A and B are shown apart, each in its own frame.
Chain A
């Protein structure tokens, strides 16, 4: 008899070693996430994937599924908290969607749509985050960083280059590149590295691409993220 748990009241079958998020996903249930990626071990920083198990909040990307657990995910309470986490991410950086090339294909924006984040609650930080255009093929706009570390992990674990890392801490934490000059152009990042192509938001952008897809035809113009994410594993 296979093991199962209840996800928003519906039974989900799982195998030992699967996390709640993995098992729910395999059963066709979407749990919002930003730092989680199917090709990488769980990271657990964005906290969008929080769910409630036996009255306690846990990160579903990291919590192993257990027989008989009752998981609440798509509830007004949890979605309200997720919306607030998004609002935190929006005020912490400088997210100006109309001028962002990633708009329409951005996971942060798409999740905000899906979770009906129409407006803001907190005051903006308006941090100083200069852009880095020193690389011939890739632009870095730190204003939009959500610290998911996917570029860090991709560069370290897949590309074997360690181009990106985080430094400082707390609200002053920020992305740095592997060069004494601090310039991306002085690293060995190549445009086809996974790290250059994995950013879920608009920090790492290819130059000379621009607003390639017309408004109305971009990924999340067509379908919401809870459908897209289940289709292509992003």
Chain B
């Protein structure tokens, strides 16, 4: 009965985001000590593990703006029992999606071809570079998402509350001060 509970395995990533949500995650400050008692990290900017293995929880920051984002998101969905969209960009495309009313080809030409000083090489064609999608998409339009933590970024408190609820087996719920979209 008293055997130590196995640690919850968590993976995190940032797609088309600014890492602000990850920074906010670190803002839980001293709760970090409690957290490491409860969880262990798989793929995450915090561990530098390159590919996600089977996990309990995946936290996704950022929307989907390029082919690589698609692959990473799919990898997370395949491996994480619970997948959470963290922050405005993951939930609705956020700032990167503000390009959605622009034509992508025109945009690329404007930057790499027409503009003085950048025009010499044309649009980059290195296969190492992920290709851009015509529109930036919220992640729930590509894979099934189990939970959303809103905010730009969500506060550390909100992320902490959400995770501790989840780990404790409670349906996560944010209190009013933790609910914000900006």
Whether B176 lies near A96 (C-beta < 8 A) is no
Q: Does A98 contact B (CB under 8 A)?
A: yes
For A3, what are the chain B residues with a Cβ–Cβ distance below 8 Å? none
Report the separation of the CA atoms of residues A113 and B179 in the bound assembly, to the nearest whole angstrom: 6
Give the number of chain B interface residues (Cβ < 8 Å): 29
B174 to chain A, nearest CB (A): 7
For B92, what are the chain A residues with a Cβ–Cβ distance below 8 Å? 90, 95-96, 120, 124
A223 to chain B, nearest CB (A): 9
Specify which of B94, B100, B135, B180 lies most central, judged by the most chain A CB atoms within 10 Å of its CB.
B180
B173 to chain A, nearest CB (A): 7
Closest to A215 in B: B182
B93 to chain A, nearest CB (A): 7
Whether A118 lies near B182 (C-beta < 8 A) is no
For A96, what are the chain B residues with a Cβ–Cβ distance below 8 Å? 88, 92, 94-95, 97-98
Report the separation of the CA atoms of residues A124 and B89 in the bound assembly, to the nearest whole angstrom: 13
A109 to chain B, nearest CB (A): 6
Instruction: List residues of A (109-160) whose CB comes within 8 Å of B's CBs.
Output: 109, 112-114, 116, 118-121, 123-124, 126, 128
Whether A120 lies near B88 (C-beta < 8 A) is no
Q: Does B101 contact A (CB under 8 A)?
A: yes
B53 to chain A, nearest CB (A): 26
Q: Does A97 contact B (CB under 8 A)?
A: yes
Whether A98 lies near B88 (C-beta < 8 A) is yes
Partner of B182, one of A104, A116, A119, A121: A104
Kindly specify which of B114-122, B125-133, B144-152 makes contact with the partner chain: B144-152
Report the separation of the CA atoms of residues A95 and B181 in the bound assembly, to the nearest whole angstrom: 10
For A168, what are the chain B residues with a Cβ–Cβ distance below 8 Å? none
Whether A97 lies near B135 (C-beta < 8 A) is no
Q: Does B85 contact A (CB under 8 A)?
A: yes
Q: Does B40 contact A (CB under 8 A)?
A: no
Report the separation of the CA atoms of residues A94 and B99 in the bound assembly, to the nearest whole angstrom: 12
Give the number of chain A interface residues (Cβ < 8 Å): 26
Q: Does B9 contact A (CB under 8 A)?
A: no
Closest to A104 in B: B182
Q: Does A60 contact B (CB under 8 A)?
A: no
Report the separation of the CA atoms of residues A116 and B179 in the bound assembly, to the nearest whole angstrom: 8
Specify which of A94, A97, A114, A116 lies most central, judged by the most chain B CB atoms within 10 Å of its CB.
A97
Closest to A129 in B: B101
Q: Does A99 contact B (CB under 8 A)?
A: yes
For B173, what are the chain A residues with a Cβ–Cβ distance below 8 Å? 116
Partner of A103, one of B91, B147, B181: B181
For A99, what are the chain B residues with a Cβ–Cβ distance below 8 Å? 95, 98
Partner of B141, one of A118, A124, A224: A124
Residues of B within 8 A of A (CB): 85, 88, 91-95, 97-98, 100-101, 135, 137-138, 140-141, 145, 147-150, 152, 173-174, 176, 179-182
3 smallest CB-CB distances across A and B, nearest first, come from A119-B148, A97-B181, A98-B152
